[in-house]
């Protein structure tokens, strides 16, 4: 199934709504060198396998985030069995780690497994959340030091009560509050909840401005191809709620960035979208 959907994004389908640049246009590779020099690497913090593909698959394919790009799956140590495929928990973990690596090859990211247990207690959920946030903060801090990370990308759940995603968000915000030069970028927690793409978000006393990335049918097909890298986890409702309609045959993903870098980030994203080579070859 995945082989029938070519992950290509024609230039006319990969643009953000913006005016053409008046300055010299840069190739994508040149632009990412500039972004890396100015801002540094990005770490996409995914609570589970397939979250990044569902939340921002098109934007990752299109190279919207500053590179080099790293992806870490936090709760990658499976405690689940898959009865219909007769897979034990350890086998499920191995399958999903292979799918993570396949997805990272598609989007040009380096994969890291944090290997925390994917489980929730029946009682004392608040105590579990405090413990989980502390563990994630320590491990993210080590990754930030090791790779010189400047951006953490995390979902922003809104009323979905998805504890795993909420502790990932809280840990990233807590770490960014401790460290100078580290910023958090927020995404919709698809397919569980969607925030208004025209309004800012507020977290940890900071205002985050929306940057909307629009794409057409070919872009949607390319995003679906990244999700199908996770063939053991695909569910029909995922494929109907992975992109937000924003007009006739137009879809979008939204990234919320800190207000103090919002204007610069939006300008850079627009420049990347409008320059030749900003599509996925």
- Is 102's pLDDT higher than 90? yes
> Half-sphere exposure of 48 toward its Cβ, with a 13 Å CA cutoff?
22
pLDDT in tens, 161-201: 688 999 999 999 999 999 999 999 999 998 888 899 999 99
Q: Mean pLDDT across the stretch 153-160?
A: 84
| Average pLDDT for the chain | 79
The model's pTM is: 0.80
pLDDT at 19: 32
Q: 119 or 240, which is more confident? A: 119
Backbone angles phi and psi of 223, in degrees to 5: -65, -40
Using CA atoms, how far apart are residues 207 and 58, in angstroms rounded to an integer? 25
Could you state, in order of their start, the residue ranges of all structural domains in the chain? Answer: 23-274
pLDDT at 115: 86
Neighbours of 222 (CB within 10 A): 25
Let me know if domain 23-274 sits in CATH 3.40.50.300: no
Q: 208: which strand partners?
A: 201, 258
Q: Each residue of 109-145: b (16+ CB within 10 Å) or e?
A: bebbbbebebeeeeeeeeeebeebbeebbebbbebbe
> Half-sphere exposure of 199 toward its Cβ, with a 13 Å CA cutoff?
5
Q: 158 or 129, which is more confident? A: 129
pLDDT in tens, 127-150: 989 999 999 999 999 999 999 999
């Amino acid at each position: 199934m995945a082989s029938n959907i070519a992950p290509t994004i024609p230039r006319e389908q990969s643009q953000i709504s913006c005016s053409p640049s008046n300055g010299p246009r840069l190739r994508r590779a040149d632009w990412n060198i500039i972004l890396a020099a100015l801002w540094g690497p990005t770490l996409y913090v995914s609570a589970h396998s397939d979250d990044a593909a569902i939340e921002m698959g098109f934007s990752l394919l299109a190279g919207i985030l500053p590179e080099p790009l790293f992806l870490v799956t936090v709760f990658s140590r499976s405690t689940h069995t898959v009865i219909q495929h007769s897979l034990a928990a350890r086998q499920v973990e191995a399958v999903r780690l292979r799918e993570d690596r396949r997805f990272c090859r598609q989007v040009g990211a380096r994969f890291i497994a944090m290997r925390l247990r994917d489980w929730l207690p029946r009682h004392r959920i608040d105590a579990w959340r405090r413990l989980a946030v502390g563990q994630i903060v320590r491990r993210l801090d080590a990754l930030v030091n090791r790779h010189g990370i400047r951006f953490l990308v995390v979902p922003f759940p809104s009323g979905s009560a998805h504890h795993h995603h909420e502790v990932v968000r809280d840990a990233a915000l807590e770490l960014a509050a401790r460290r100078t030069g580290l910023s958090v970028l927020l995404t919709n927690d698809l397919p569980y909840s969607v925030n208004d793409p025209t309004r800012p978000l507020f977290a940890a006393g900071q205002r985050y401005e929306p940057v909307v990335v629009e794409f057409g049918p070919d872009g949607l097909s390319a995003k679906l191809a990244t999700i199908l890298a996770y063939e053991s986890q695909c569910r029909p409702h995922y494929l109907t709620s992975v992109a937000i309609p924003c007009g006739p045959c137009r879809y979008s993903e939204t990234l919320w960035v800190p207000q103090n870098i919002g204007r610069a980030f939006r300008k850079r994203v627009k420049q990347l979208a409008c320059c030749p080579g900003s599509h996925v070859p």
